[in-house]
Amino acid sequence: MTHQSIIFFDIDGTLLNHDKELPLSTKESIFKLKELGHEVAIATGRAPFMFEDLRKELDIDTYVSYNGQYVVLKGKELYRNPLKISSLEKLTEVALHNNHPVVFMDHEDMKANVPEHTYIKESIATLKIGRFPAHDPHYYKGRELFQTLLFCPEGEEKQYEQEFYDFDFVRWHPVSVDVVPKGGSKAQGIKKVVESLGISEERQYAFGDGLNDMEMLTAIRNSVAMGNAEEIVKSVAKYVTKSVEDDGILHGLQMVGLL
């Protein structure tokens, strides 16, 4: 297809609404894009195992997960960008001292360094994925981790930002922060995909709503912020569509001329 485009969609607040439901208009729009010959991909902060059902429902096999650290193209692993383990060990020690639990995450599973904690239950529950991390304080040993969750109230991540230069800290919940490799972002993961497919900049689109979407919305020429996004996120996007609850994906795809 000469005019094939690729469209990257964030999940939470973009494909899924506040109740983690997939609007019918969104599902129909995704399949219409595929019928037209376009490539549809997911770009999310979630782990691959946290959106497997959604991938199956939408028949999507290309995705940028962990905010760009683990990328799969047409069902095959394309890119890995793991955390620096020596620095992660030190961060975990500091976090334990501060009573801030962490959850270690690779492409297959997640494990907590403490048996249980209110912050973990509170934040993970909002994802409605039907599972919580088991306890394994040594899960980081001998394997590549692509993201760690640090659980602390808003503002308290500042002390980690000042001490651990190998990581970026991106808040996604009032009591939880994504810890990813420095400079890693959805934009970097997307770059790996579009370079492999050879799709030009003018044929690249991205939809998102969160703070972790800002690099993606800045880097992609045809970027669309959801109506439910924060104003700072909307400010970096080329277009702003309606909210996810108000058929925002369908409206946005019509706005940019893809549907």
Q: Which of 10, 12, 168, 213 is catalytic?
A: 10
Q: Measured at the alpha carbon of residue 6, what is the angle toward residues 206 and 3, in degrees to the nearest 5?
A: 130
Instruction: Kindly give, in sequence order, each residue whose CB lies less than 8 Å from that of residue 206, ignoring residues fewer than 6 positions away.
Output: 7, 8, 9, 43, 190, 213, 216, 217, 220, 222, 223, 224
CA dist., res. 162 & res. 179, Å (int): 13
The three-class DSSP label of residue 180 is: strand
| Residue 213 annotated to the active site | no
198 φ/ψ sector (left φ>0, alpha ψ -120 to 50, else beta): left
Catalytic residues: 10
